[in-house]
C-alpha cells in the first residue's frame, strides 16, 4: 500500500471517529435533557419577581417521574413513570394542552382543595392565607409596559413562604368563584398575581393534570434584561443580571 493510500485511509478513520464522537455527545446531551435536567427560559412576566423575563433556569425532570410531555416528542401514553407527587409551593413547568405551550407556575392547590380569590386575597379551603407587605417596586412585562406594584410574602398552608406582587387588590382576577381541584389535577398560579393567566382562567389554563407536568424549576443559571439573546456577548456588560445567576428557585 502506498503512502498516499495510507494517508487517505488515516484521514477516513479520523473522520469516522469524529462523527462517532459527535453522535455520542449528542446522544448523551439528549439523555441528560430527557431524563435528568432541561433548561428553560422565561419570556413573560407571570412569575416575576421569582422568575423574571430573561431568566434561564434548570428544571429537574426526574423528581416527579416521567409523563408524556417529558420527552422531546410527546409519547402516546397516560400516567407517569416513577417519581413522586408535587408539593404545595413547588414551581413547575407543565404543558398547557389548551395552548400547546410550556407554562411555568407555582403549585397552589392540591387535588380536592377549594381555591378562591376575594378582594385580592387567596383562600385555600376557606382560610385566607397570611400575606405580609415587604415593599414596593415596578413591574415591566414583555410589552415593555411598566406599572407600580406592591410586594408581599405569602405563606401557604404547609408553611412554604414565597414572594408575590400585586398591582392592586381589585384587578380582574382578584375576585373569583370558588374552584374545586379535581382528582389528579393541580391549581397553578403565577407569583405576579395581576399579570398571570393561570388556573383562575379555566378557558386558557384551568386545572392542570399531573400527567402534563414536565419538571420542577430548581436553579437559575443565567439572566439578561429585555430578553436579549444570550449569544449577543457584546450586550452582556450592560444587561446581564449577575446577582440572579446560580441561585435556587423558591
Q: Any idea which residues carry the catalytic annotation?
A: 46, 105
Angle at the Cα of 169 from the Cα atoms of 111 and 133, rounded to 5 degrees: 90
Secondary element (H or E) of residue 34:
helix 3-35
Q: Which three cell numbers stand for residue 26?
A: 449528542
d(CA 178, CA 176): 6
Selection from 167, 156, 168, 158 nearest residue 131 by Cα:
156
* DSSP state, residue 165: E
Selection from 105, 123, 102 nearest residue 113 by Cα:
123
d(CA 57, CA 39): 6
d(CA 24, CA 30): 10
Q: Which residue's entry shows cell 422568575?
A: 51
Amino acid at each position: 500500500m502506498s503512502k498516499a493510500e495510507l494517508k487517505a485511509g488515516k484521514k477516513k478513520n479520523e473522520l469516522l471517529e469524529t462523527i462517532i464522537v459527535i453522535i455520542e455527545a449528542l446522544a448523551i446531551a439528549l439523555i441528560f435533557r430527557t431524563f435528568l435536567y432541561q433548561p428553560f427560559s422565561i419570556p413573560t412576566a407571570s412569575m416575576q419577581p421569582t422568575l423574571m423575563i430573561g431568566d434561564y433556569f434548570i428544571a429537574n425532570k426526574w423528581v416527579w417521574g416521567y409523563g408524556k410531555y417529558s420527552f422531546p416528542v410527546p409519547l402516546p401514553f397516560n400516567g407517569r413513570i416513577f417519581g413522586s407527587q408535587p408539593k404545595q409551593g413547588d414551581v413547575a413547568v407543565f404543558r398547557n394542552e389548551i395552548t400547546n405551550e410550556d407554562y411555568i407556575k407555582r403549585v397552589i392547590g392540591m387535588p380536592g382543595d377549594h381555591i378562591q380569590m376575594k378582594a385580592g386575597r387567596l383562600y385555600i379551603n376557606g382560610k385566607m392565607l397570611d400575606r405580609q407587605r415587604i415593599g414596593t417596586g415596578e413591574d415591566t412585562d414583555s410589552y415593555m409596559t411598566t406599572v407600580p406594584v406592591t410586594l408581599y410574602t405569602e405563606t401557604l398552608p404547609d408553611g412554604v413562604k414565597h414572594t408575590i406582587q400585586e398591582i392592586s387588590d381589585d384587578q380582574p382576577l382578584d375576585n373569583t368563584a370558588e374552584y374545586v381541584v379535581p382528582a389528579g389535577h393541580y391549581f397553578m398560579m403565577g407569583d405576579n398575581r395581576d399579570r398571570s393567566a393561570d388556573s383562575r382562567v379555566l378557558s386558557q389554563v384551568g386545572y392542570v393534570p399531573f400527567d402534563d407536568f414536565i419538571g420542577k424549576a430548581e436553579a437559575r443559571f443565567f439572566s439578561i434584561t429585555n430578553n436579549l439573546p444570550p449569544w449577543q456577548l457584546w450586550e452582556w456588560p450592560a444587561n446581564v443580571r449577575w446577582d440572579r445567576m446560580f441561585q435556587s428557585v423558591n
